[in-house]
Each structure stands twice: as structure tokens, then as C-alpha cells.
Amino acid sequence: MRRLQLITIGLLGSLAILLTLNSCSGNKQRQAMPLEIPVVEVKTENFPLIQDFVGQTYGYFDISIRARVEGYLEGVHFQEGGRVKKGQLLYTIDSAPFDAKVAEALSRVAEAKTRLVQAQGDYARIKPLAESKAVSMSDLDAATASLGAAEAGVEAAEAQLKFANIEKGYCKIYSPISGLIGRTEAKTSEFVGRDPNPVVLNAVSRIDTILVQFTVSEMKYLEFVKYAKTTGRIYKGEGGRRSDIKLLFADDSEHPYQGKIDFIDRNVDPTTGTIMLQASFPNPDYTVRPGLFAKIRAIVDEASDRMVIPQRCLQELQGQYNVLVVNDENVVEYRSVEVAQTHGDLQVIVSGLKEGEKVLLEGFAQARTGMTIVPKLTEFQSVTKQTTK
């Protein structure tokens, strides 16, 4: 009986071992089967290369309104945030101290003119006497010197009077241009014109034309130049399409008026490797204000074949883009790429890929670098609305 039990136990153990071996063999077979993952081929499409540049808006003129003399602010004669005209009175400063300076200068002018009259009379009497040898020549020289000093004294006194009137004139501050004025930095009865009191009282901006200043790298600047030379277009809009330059805002809305580049700085900043450019845009309805975040969208190269892949293929990490490529042995490879604009739901690839290469469209969670897969070639249908990255 005991022998039969031992035989039964042995048979059961052998059966368990066989089942375990079969299970392991099945797992290995399942693990050895590669995953089937959709891929797309890198293709080319024909369209111009567009680039976005970050900038800031400025008025065509942004002029600070300063208190050029010290004193108490007597009046504010405009509506904050409204439009003002050239020559319109903006501020008045207490002029009493300057009235006193003008009166003092007037008295000095009168005193100097009195001395001049006396010196002219002395000279008129002594000159004929000196000619007849009735007085010495030294007396004539002294009278001549006194006359010259009196004349100079009158000129100096009149200059002081002019300066006193100029200072008094600074008590009334007028708008230098027509435009939009901001919030006043000083209120009535405040002392202005000396730190720490307000010196800059306000600013007036002419914004019927808006300026956008932005910086580009040295390489992008060279692309601008190359595009201008090869196409014969001038970014100032002379003889070329002004649609090459567009203005976009923080919400990705587009300014209805197209612009032109009207200024390029004389040098590249050696510390940043960038150069500053300026574009101007019509702004007749005053909707664009100085200080806005803005993007300049510009054509930097003519229409030609661009390598594109679906945007879904891209993975981004801290501003760096990468894709998973399937090589000729069906092995997954990690590849860093440089991107440009988007064209509909396609992404333009500047470098990192070649036409005809296969890129993973899905399955990023399952695929790993070095893994062998079964690539399932997929035809991707794109929408051709052009934007930028």
C-alpha cells in the first residue's frame, strides 16, 4: 500500500514538472513574439518656411512728460487714458517763485541799462576832449572800458531775464505730440520735479502706427538676408509682398493689418548672439497698445519640399523634441529632432530625420529603445491649415 502511494506521488510530481515546463515554454513563445505598432513614413510637402519671433509692442513715439522745474502741481488738464493733441495744456505748476525771479531779472536789466546810459554820456564828453588834448588818453581809455562793461552788463542782465522767462514757461507743460496719454504719476498739490517726488509725470504715445521690437539669432538673421536676396523681396515692403510679416498676440489672434521690417540694428550682441529687428504695423483703430506681448510671424524661406511627420509622433521634454524611429532591422531607436512650423496637423522637421524613414505613430508606452517590433505602415490623413510651432 505504501509503495502504491509513493508511485502515485512520483507520477503527480512528474506531471507537475511537465506542466511547469510547458507553461514556461509558452511564456517564452509569447514573449518572443514582437509587438505590432503603427508607423508612418517621413514625407515631403511643398510650402514656404515660416518662423515665429517673440517681441514687444511700442508706440511710434513714446515721449515722457517731465517736470523741468520744481514746484507744487496746480492743475491737471486732461483725461487720463484719453487722446490729447499736440500743444494741448497738460499740467500747470505754481509759478509764483518764477514770477519773482522774472521781476528780479527785470530790475537787473533796468539797472544795467542805467549804467549803460551813464557810460555812454561819459564817453561822449571825454572823446572830443581827448582829441583836443584837453584830457589825457588814459581818461578816454577808462571811459571806453566803462562803456564796454556797461554794454556787456546789459547783455548779461537780458540773458538772465530770458532764462527766468524760460523757467517760468516750464510751469505750463504742453503735449509734444498728438496721441494717447497714460495715467498721471502726480496729483494736484503734490510737489514735483525733484527726487524722490515725481519727475516723469506721464507719457504720450503715438500709436496710429505700432512698432514691434524682437531679437533673432545670428543664424535666423542670415536666413532673413538669404531670403531677401534670393527672392528679390525687401522686408521694408518696397517692391515686395507685405504679407511676409504678420503680428500675433498672446491669445494667438492675428492683427488685421500686415507690416514691414523697417529697422535692423547695426550689430549682433556679442553676449547673446542675437540682433534686434523692428517691424511696424498700421494701427488706425488704436487697438494695439504699447507693452503688449507679441509674436512676429515671418516667411524666412521660399516654398520648397519640407520633411513632415504627424504631430502625434513627437514627444517633448523641456523644449527638446524627439521621436522613436524604426530602423531597417525593425529595431526602435531614439532620435532627437529640430522642428519648425506646423502645417495643419503635420510638423515640419528641420533636422534629425530623412525622407522615407519610419516613425512610431502610436504605442509609445509599450515601445522601448532597442526593442524589435512589427511596424504596421499607416497612411496618415492631414489637415492643411498652416500654423507655426
Could you read off the pLDDT of 299-346 as tens digits, one per residue?
877 777 888 999 989 998 888 899 999 998 999 999 999 888 777 788
- Say if 10 falls within a structural domain: no
Flag whether 353 is in a domain: yes
Counting the structural domains of the chain, the total is 4
**Of the candidates 219, 340, 321, the residue with the CA atom closest to the CA atom of residue 273:** 219
Assigned domain for 2 exists: no
Domain boundary among 303, 332, 348: 303
296 and 212 within one domain: yes
Which cell goes with 209? 502706427
In the chain, % of residues over pLDDT 70 = 86
Q: What confidence score (pLDDT) does residue 385 get?
A: 46
Quote the pLDDT of residue 17.
Answer: 54
Question: Does one domain contain both 245 and 349?
Answer: no
Three-state secondary-structure class, residue 388: coil
Supply 151's cell numbers: 554794454
Q: Are residues 78 and 142 in the same domain?
A: no
Assign residue 131 the CATH number of its domain: 1.10.287
As a whole number of angstroms, the distance between CA 377 and CA 307 comes to: 18
- Is residue 16, in this structure, part of any structural domain at all? no
**Residues 252, 294: one domain?**
yes
The cell numbers describing 272, all together, are 547673446
* C-alpha dihedral (49, 54, 57, 62), degrees to nearest 10: -120
Q: Are both 323 and 360 inside the same structural domain?
A: yes
What range does the domain containing 190 cover? 68-89+174-198
Pairing of strands 43-66, 293-310: antiparallel
- pLDDT tens by residue, 5-55: 544 455 455 555 555 555 555 554 455 578 899 999 999 888 787 888 999
Which of the four pLDDT bands, split at 50, 70 and 90, describes residue 282?
Answer: very high
Q: Are residues 119 and 160 in the same domain?
A: yes
* Structural domain includes residue 22: no
Average pLDDT over residues 86-98: 96
* pLDDT for the residue 241: 42
CA-to-CA dists, residue 126 to 118, 146, 359, angstroms: 12, 12, 110
Assessment of whether the complete model's pTM goes beyond 0.75 = no
Looking at 288, 303, 318, the residue that finishes a domain is 303
Which residue is listed with cell 502726480?
186
Is the domain of 293 the same as that of 218?
yes
- Averaged pLDDT for residues 84-92: 97
Q: What is the mean pLDDT of the chain?
A: 85
For residue 73, being part of any structural domain is answered with: yes
Within-domain flag for 1:
no
Q: Which CATH number is 345's domain given?
A: 2.40.420.20
Tell me the average pLDDT across 221-238. 68
**What pLDDT sits at residue 244?**
67
Predicted local distance difference test score (pLDDT) of residue 134: 83
Is the same domain home to 292 and 313? no
213 shares its domain with 295: yes
- Asked whether residue 3 is domain-assigned, the answer is no
Indicate whether 155 and 131 sit together in one domain. Answer: yes
Q: If you compute the radius of gyration of the chain from its CA atoms, what whole number of angstroms results?
A: 42
